[in-house]
Amino acid sequence: MRKKAIIYIITTLLIFSGGLLKAQDPHFSQFYANPMYLNPAFAGTAVCPRLIMNYRNQWPAISGAYVTYNAGFDMHFDALSGGLGVLVTSDRAGEGVLTSNTASLIYSYKLQLTRFFAIKAGFQGSFFQKSLDGSKLTFGNQIDPRWGFVYDQNPKIPTLSKSGVDFSAGMLGFSEKFYIGFAVHHLTQPDEGLWSASTLPMKLTFHTGGIIPLTRGKRRRRPEDPVLSPNVAFFMQGPYHQMNYGLYVNKLPIIAGLWYRQFFEGSDALIVLLGFQYDKFKFGYTYDITVSKLASASGGAHEISFAMMFNCPVKKRRVREISCPSF
């Protein structure tokens, strides 16, 4: 009960000190299971229609700390020389005290430079809404040292809301065995402050990786052939810098992976992945093993992803898909 009281007090202080703090975007451990969230240039890279859904529960030992939902749909259109995508994200903090919702429309243009290398440029327009439910806030004068939250002395805090538009862009280059990308989110750094002005800093993303076949011979690689896929992802938003190193091992229908995430200030988590891919369906699960000072209290993080591919509505000319990890 004492731990819960401390968490609520800290949450309240964070919410009402918006003029001093800078917000951050929710992050996912399964980057490529949520490709348009990683980089808008990924819209349409699967060519045929694709539906993706993601769920993340961060620090489950702290009840309702951070829960994030995400859903996206995209496909390639020959007439547009690229892809269109729709992305919806909802983030809940403090058992619904603070809620952020974002809906985005994405377009990516594809340019085939050579037979084996192409680039994509993605553009994203978003509408966001952030709200604070004052009825769910709790304060120190409601706490009994022995029995916890028993006093009904909650000051009447109104429900606060803020909405606006946001823009992002990204670039992606890829061949059959290599890919590299860069994205800039929140180009206009919108004001999302509820109590006072609070701009959302730009988020810079850099990601790259490759495909290393484990089969010998000169024949063309088949989807079921085993491969290794080393990857690096770097994120910077305001004063925060995050580096991720990972390796996937694919032997369909099973995919396994191991990632290490760190901040410049120190280590954060070891991420273990297990995925299953069969026909048009993909399912992935990751668990973040916290290795920082929060290890004993946070409970790590659980993340689940689901993807489903659909048949192309009409016969398309040959369009090369990007060979990147599924999760």
Return the higher-pLDDT residue of 90 and 139. 90
115 pLDDT band, cuts 50/70/90, is confident
Out of 19-33, 87-101, 123-137, 236-250, which region has the weakest mean confidence (pLDDT)? 19-33
pLDDT of residue 156: 67
pLDDT of residue 109: 96
Distance, in Å, from the CA atom of 48 to the CA atom of 62, rounded to the nearest integer, reads 40
Share of the chain residues as helix, strand and coil, in percent rounded to the nearest 5? 10, 50, 40
- Which contacts (CB < 8 Å, 24+ apart) does range 68-71 have? 68/26, 68/28, 68/92, 70/28, 70/34, 70/37
Query: Is 11 in contact with 93 (CB distance < 8 Å)?
Result: yes
Q: For residue range 149-205, what is the model confidence (pLDDT) as tens digits?
A: 655 655 666 778 899 999 999 999 999 889 999 999 999 999 988 778 888 999 999
Q: 144 exposed, middle or buried (CB, 10 Å; 0-12, 13-18, 19+)?
A: exposed
Return the higher-pLDDT residue of 115 and 249. 249
pLDDT of residue 226: 87
- Torsion region of 64: left, alpha or beta (phi above 0 gives left; psi -120 to 50 gives alpha): left
Q: For residue range 236-283, what is the model confidence (pLDDT) as tens digits?
A: 998 889 999 999 999 889 999 999 999 887 788 999 999 999 889 999
pTM, to two decimals: 0.87
pLDDT of residue 108: 97
Distance, in Å, from the CA atom of 87 to the CA atom of 30, rounded to the nearest integer, reads 16
